[in-house]
Amino acid sequence: MNQKTSQKMNLKTLVATAMLAAVAGVLMSLEISLPLMPPFYKLDFSDVPSVIALFAFGPLSGAAVEIVKILIKLVTVGTSTAYVGELANLIGVVLFIVPIWFVFKKMNYTKKAAKVSLIVSVPVRIAFSCCVNAFITLPLYAKAMGISLDDVIAMVSGVNPGIKNLTTFVILATIPFNLIKNVLNCLLGYILYERLSNVHVFERRFSKI
């Protein structure tokens, strides 16, 4: 590959990454409330462009989309969680990108590897979310709102009476919410990447095995 071709590919990657990040930023602002979930748990589909970027252009592109979308949301919409939700998303970038790319690369970039990598990423992200919510984001959110952690739990129990303490919060809110969000984002990201690569919008990185 000559230098001119390499520069052209780098420019294409940069432009595509910027476009996907812009789409992700918009999607992150289009939040959907779910029944029986805390008011600060909102479903969005902003990880879909990140999955596409990751498979099409690699981990740096996927991470860039994740980081830029957070900045776009902060600039355009602001924060409803005193920046705690955005901090959690930023911390989660690594544990979103690394497991997917590690498995995908380890299994030689096959179609099966793409599916397995996304499946592996879901429990990793859920486990991460449980730890971060329990020990970082919920305490920070309570502090930012000027209330105690017990007050936050009491507020959430009004939406879901089964939530009585931090443990039940994690079991009845954090785990099911992240399961729904991660599965939907990974599934849609994979399907859209397949469709777009079939019509040559993006390079098909993996084989059909």
Complete DSSP assignment for 26-46: HHHHS-EE-TTS-TT-EE--T
The DSSP H or E segment spanning 140 is helix 138-145
Number of domains in the chain: 1
In a domain, 86, yes or no: yes
Question: Are 49 and 23 a contacting pair, CB within 8 Å?
Answer: yes
What is the phi/psi pair of residue 202, to 5°? -125, 155
For range 158-173, the mean pLDDT? 90
In a domain, 22, yes or no: yes
pLDDT value at residue 65:
92
pLDDT value at residue 84:
72
pLDDT tens across 17-53, in order? 999 999 998 898 888 888 888 887 889 999 999 999 9
Lookup result for tokens 């420019």: 11
In a domain, 207, yes or no: no
Q: Is the pLDDT of residue 208 over 70?
A: no
Full-model pTM? 0.84
Question: Are 83 and 40 a contacting pair, CB within 8 Å?
Answer: no
Domain carrying residue 74: 3-198
Tokens linked to 78: 């602001």
In a domain, 131, yes or no: yes
* Mean pLDDT lowest among 20-24, 86-90, 94-98, 168-172: 86-90
In a domain, 82, yes or no: yes
Residues near 95 by Cβ (< 8 Å), separated by ≥ 6?
124, 125, 128
In a domain, 203, yes or no: no
For residue 37, the domain's CATH number is 1.10.1760.20
In a domain, 205, yes or no: no
* Separation of CA 207 from chain center: 25
